[in-house]
């Protein structure tokens, strides 16, 4: 068969299989994300039946998937809601960084990998997966929940922090001087500030470019603007996800409302592609050797992420069920962790960092969506009810 024929057959067969897996997941009431990852492992290098022609399609599609997931999240909120949420979550962001970055750094130092690898592993364990969490929120129909703005604000703070972190890490792993690292950092910060300013001050002007009642032009225009901003942001070491999210909040009114149903099918398609490619890029044999240390690190940092998310929701005045939903939903790590590991390993920092990061992310990506469903279990609801009762009980005064 020709290359184009192989591409069509492989991509078509895999997408059909994903559709069946998604239907099965819906039938049993779980998120399809773990099934997508397992499918990717089965058809990647070292898997049961490696793809020969469809990998490039899934690689490009995975990038589009993350962008669309964050764009759709941005469309759910206005710029003013974002600023309010960020102001409320500054302290939570600091706590999140301390409790979730330190375990990774200490783990690398204990393994004897050195300070640069410690900085890299700190980033891997710190940043939650915006792409995974966005899909979990949608699958569990929690986009309208009270805790979602808190979750979103933490994700945005982490993504924005990457604009500072990645240039610094790049300078460290490449052995660049302080001046080069500082220049990259300043450029990244300026880009983020410009995009955020435009979104906050000129969102209505941006929305006026589009015709809300013309579906074809609206779909093409919003998607084109999002890809353009995401690409420009990534060019200067700012997350493409940050650019896509800020485009989403910049659009308002009928443009945002009408764009959501048009973009939803594309989001579903490319989000599935994103998770499949994550599995395709992983060799199962490499995971076996580092499974135990990765599992230990995953358990520790899923616990710390749950704690910091719980405390952030408590600071926002949310009830105990919403606190648990916040903490457990934030546990998956994903796209940023792989980017960080690739950057470090590509520069020759520590070759064992790549399989450890891959195994770690796979564990958290598989366990995270399952943990996010825990608050819906009856036994967990009963436990939260008892916790709420104890919290509401007034203290008993000593008998004098």
Tens digits of residue pLDDT in 200-218: 777 778 888 898 889 999 9
pLDDT of residue 116: 86
pLDDT of residue 400: 42
Of 153 and 172, more confident: 153
pLDDT of residue 166: 73
| Residues found in the chain | 400
Range of the domain at 53: 11-384
Give the CATH number, domain containing residue 243: 1.20.1530.20
User: DSSP character for 396?
Assistant: P
In a domain, 125, yes or no: yes
Helix (H) or strand (E) holding 312: helix 291-315
Mean of pLDDT over the chain: 83
pLDDT of residue 179: 65
Total domain count, the chain:
1
Taking the C-alpha atoms of residue 290 and residue 324, their distance in angstroms, rounded to an integer, is 30
In a domain, 186, yes or no: yes
In a domain, 140, yes or no: yes
Of 396 and 89, more confident: 89
**252's tokens:** 């308002």
Confidence of residue 192 (pLDDT cuts 50, 70, 90): low
Q: pLDDT exceeding 70 applies to what percent of the chain?
A: 87
Cβ atoms 252, 206 nearer than 8 A: no
In a domain, 390, yes or no: no
Average of pLDDT values for 356-376? 90
In a domain, 222, yes or no: yes
Average of pLDDT values for 185-210? 74
In a domain, 362, yes or no: yes
Q: Is a pLDDT exceeding 80 seen at residue 117? A: yes
Residue with structure tokens 């013309």? 214
Residue 333's Cα: distance from chain center in Å?
7
In a domain, 392, yes or no: no
| Residue 135 CB-density burial (10 A; 0-12 exposed, 13-18 middle, 19+ buried) | buried
Give the contacts of 194 (CB within 8 A, at least 6 positions apart): none
| Whether the model pTM is above 0.85 | no
Secondary structure class of 310 (helix, strand, coil): helix
Q: Is a pLDDT exceeding 60 seen at residue 297? A: yes
Cβ atoms 362, 335 nearer than 8 A: no
In a domain, 31, yes or no: yes
């Amino acid at each position: 068969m020709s290359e184009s024929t192989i591409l069509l057959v492989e991509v078509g067969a895999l997408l059909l299989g994903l559709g069946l897996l998604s239907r099965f997941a819906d039938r049993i009431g779980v998120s399809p994300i773990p099934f997508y990852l397992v499918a990717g492992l089965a058809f990647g290098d070292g898997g049961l039946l490696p793809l020969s022609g469809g990998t490039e399609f899934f690689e490009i599609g995975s990038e589009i998937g993350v962008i669309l997931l964050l764009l759709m999240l941005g469309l759910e909120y206005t710029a003013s809601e974002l600023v309010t949420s960020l102001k409320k979550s500054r302290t939570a962001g600091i706590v999140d960084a301390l409790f979730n970055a330190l375990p990774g750094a200490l783990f690398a130092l204990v393994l004897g990998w050195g300070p640069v690898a410690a900085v890299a592993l700190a980033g891997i364990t710190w940043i939650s997966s915006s792409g995974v969490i966005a899909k979990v929120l949608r699958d569990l129909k929690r986009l309208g929940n009270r805790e979602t703005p808190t979750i979103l604000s933490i994700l945005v703070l982490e993504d924005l922090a990457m604009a500072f972190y990645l240039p610094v890490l790049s300078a460290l792993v490449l052995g660049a001087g302080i001046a080069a690292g500082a220049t990259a950092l300043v450029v990244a910060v300026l880009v983020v500030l410009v995009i955020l300013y435009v979104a906050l001050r000129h969102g209505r002007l941006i929305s006026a470019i589009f015709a809300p009642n013309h579906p074809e032009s609206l779909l093409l225009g919003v998607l084109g603007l999002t890809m353009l901003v995401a690409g420009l942001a990534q060019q200067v070491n700012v997350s493409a996800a940050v650019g896509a999210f800020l485009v989403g909040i910049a659009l308002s009114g009928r443009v945002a409302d009408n764009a959501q149903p048009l973009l939803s099918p594309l989001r579903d398609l490319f989000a599935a592609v994103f998770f499949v490619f994550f599995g395709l890029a992983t060799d199962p044999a490499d995971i076996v050797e580092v499974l135990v240390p990765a599992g230990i690190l995953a358990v520790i940092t899923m616990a710390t992420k749950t704690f910091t998310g719980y405390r952030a929701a408590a600071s926002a005045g949310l009830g105990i069920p919403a606190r648990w939903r916040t903490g457990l939903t934030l546990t998956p790590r994903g796209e940023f962790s792989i980017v960080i590991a690739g950057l470090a390993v590509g520069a020759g920092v520590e070759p064992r960092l790549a399989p450890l990061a891959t195994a770690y992310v796979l564990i958290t990506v598989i366990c995270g969506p399952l943990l996010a469903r825990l608050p819906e279990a009856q036994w967990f609801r009963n436990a939260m009810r008892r916790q709420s009762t104890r919290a509401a009980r007034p203290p008993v005064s000593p008998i004098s």
